[in-house]
A and B are shown apart, each in its own frame.
Chain A
Amino acid sequence: MDRRVIPAAAVAAREDVGPAKPSRVSRREFGSCVAAAAAGWLMTACGPRRLHELSKDRLRARLRDLEREYSERYAAPVTVTDTPAMPNVLFAYALDISRCVGCRRCVYACVDENNQSRDPQVHWIRVLQMDKDRGVDFTHADPYYAPREVPEEGHFYVPVACQQCRNAPCTKVCPTGATWTEPDGIVVIDYDWCIGCRYCMAACPYGARHFNWSEPSIPRGQLNAKTHVLGNRPRPKGVVEKCTFCIQRTRDGRYPACVEACPVGARKFGNLLDPDSEIRYIIEHKRVLVLKEDINTVPKFFYFYAT
């Protein structure tokens, strides 16, 4: 089965950066360019910077350092990539509420894929059990349901992770600019730049941000060694982390781990800009809702009823 969700054309277009045309420059223009470059160099030369501001060489060196550090710590060859966003791609997610059975396989697939701490446990996905007669209502949601068998009579399930808001309150409030929205719509965190003030957690209406209250622990054999610098690489203590739509997979054209793990096919993922994508079909043909629509965060995570 072909799991690639990104059209090949979009992948090819990534390399499509032509050389700039030579043109005449006046002395003044040249002078101001040199001055700007010098200022820029001075700025970047002052200690480490946010990842997306690093020069290519310095980023490369940083990634190699990280690989060495993680490989040593986890006794396995770890790769840290910085695969950029593909052009003409805006990722979106859809979840079929009528199909979800609340088995939480997505939760644990996510933990394994994204190297979340096992002790203390960090879960990027929270599955909420709700009463059918109340509808989607957080005040009566139960995240700790534990019956012998799911689904339970009279209940339905709403898994919640980062909604990758277009109007994301978390990126707005961050005092250091350590979190931002990538061109493909994924809200990411620079774990090297976050100071752990947790303002983003106060601002997030979906409880999607999680803090490393103590040193995260991953048993040696359990590390997923294929990592992305903005995604599932091991995190330090004292910083915030969150779902990144499995940036390390989806930017290579694969599905997020939770989509693959879902036993009932309730989870859908794709490119919102591709008119032929499954996600567009769902939005155009199904009953779709987003969580907390009234606060205008404009999520790219849609819930729908297929039946």
Chain B
Amino acid sequence: MNTFRLYSQFVTGSVRLVLQGNRAYWAWVAFLVALVISGGIAYTDQVRSGLVITSMRDQVSWGFYIGNFTFLVGVAAAAVVLVIPAYVYDWKPIREIVVYGELLAVSAIIMCLLFVVVDIGRPDRFWHILPIVGHLNFPRSLLAWDVLVLNLYFLVNITVVTHILYRAFSGRHYNSRIVVPLVLLSIPMAVGIHTVTAFLYNGLAARPYWNSSILAPQFLASAFCAGPAILLIVLQLLRRFTTFEIQDQAISKIAELMAYAMFLNLFLHGAEAFKEYYSDTEHLLFTRYWYSGLGVHRTLVPYAWSAVTLNVVAFVLFIIPRARRHWIALNVGCLATYAGCYIEKGMGLIIPGLTPDALGEIYEYYPSMNELRVAAGVFALGFLIFTLMLKVAVPISLGEFLSQDEHVAPAPAAHATAP
């Protein structure tokens, strides 16, 4: 019965941890819960009256939801930026924070799946894509591939983090025979989820804006900027509000890696823009809609240039060693990266891909209030899950939250994440 007792201790202890917190914690949780409720109400309205209350129409049949989905797949994939230095190069300062990267990946995947669910017209038929009970059009449909890799990546990450944390809680070292192969597997899978998501768009000859072989590398490059950007902010907050120690060296190294990724991102965008503008075929239309607008249709132009500016600023800040060690510059860089990639990957990828539509019509899409509320709800739910997971994971890493069994030796703090 030892296992059972241990488990119930873990559950009750976690609940107790989650219910403890200072005023700032509760304000944050209340804020997120409010957004989730507002999103839930908006989603109920959407289910009742149909997707007509979004701004999507036949011309622009995917919008804000799928844009967010695409962006968040990148965030999930970005955990690999931590995993590679930690496990492949065995770099200790990062190894201690890998668990947080994986927790971020888990919550990002949850948000991805939720964004897909809120986007489909018949959520009640979701089971139709499940193999055996339904019918998954595998391997023909890239969406089927995406469903598979996203769920597998989710399983791998959640297995690794729960195993590491639970073992640390029970005062034991994690099982390397489980963790190391799974962590190594998660590296190609992280590349895989974003590549498959890129191929989802990439394979459509009907949409020349997406039908470019550079799309998957572009996806990876922007993912490896945006994901770590969130993580750097989270790590600084952890350092500030808990006794968790994160070396400056680790943070500065991640920022350096982001600078390289951002360079690649900008370079690939430049390469794409060159091909479009110099060859000047009829397919230039979509790129022009994004960067300069078509006639009076200029909704996206300010977004396009703010994305470019933010990305360039972030690159400059992170490539200068002094700047990335300065905490204001570092945070400005993180926010710029996050915002730049978010605009470019969300609206900047989906909307120009579909505008003008297949028959040349320009329908200017802009998310409706309802879409914004649903999306905010999904983000809030993801952040709530991430917050609650951190609330349990941090004390475990610090060795403050341990099984009370006397026969189990208390584990040193470092054991939580670094063997």
Contacts and interface: CB of A to CB of B under 8 A. Distances in A.
Nearest to B354: A202
B58 interface: yes
Interface stretch (B128-136, B218-226, B406-414): B128-136
Contacts, number: 145
Given A207-B357, A211-B58, A176 B121 contact: no
A238 B206 contact: no
B126 A195 contact: yes
A77 B367 CA distance: 42
Contacts of B156: none
Interface stretch (B98-106, B137-145, B183-191, B328-336): B137-145
Nearest to A140: B360
B125 A195 contact: yes
B302 interface: no
Nearest to B54: A213
Contact of A50 (B135, B200, B203, B356): B135
Contacts of B129: 175-176, 195
B62 interface: yes
Interface string A196-218: 11110111111101111111000
Main secondary structure of the interface of B (DSSP, over half): loop
A47 B133 contact: yes
A238 B360 contact: no
A295 B205 contact: yes
A48 B383 CA distance: 37
A60 interface: no
Interface string B188-232: 000000000000110111110000000000000000000000000
A214 B52 contact: yes
A237 B124 CA distance: 12
Given A169-B206, A195-B128, A206 B359 contact: yes
Contact of A176 (B116, B128, B132): B128
Contact of A169 (B50, B133, B205, B353): B205
Interface residues of A, number: 52
A207 B354 CA distance: 11
Contact of A237 (B119, B121, B132, B204): B121
Nearest to A160: B359
Interface in A156-186: 160, 169, 172-178
Contacts of A297: 205
6 contacts: A195-B126, A196-B121, A197-B119, A202-B354, A207-B59, A237-B50
Name the 10 nearest CB pairs between A and B, nearest first. A196-B121, A238-B121, A138-B360, A205-B206, A214-B52, A175-B143, A213-B52, A214-B50, A207-B358, A201-B61
Interface of B: 49-52, 56-59, 61-62, 116, 119-123, 125-126, 128-129, 132-137, 140-144, 147, 200-201, 203-207, 282, 285, 353-354, 356-361
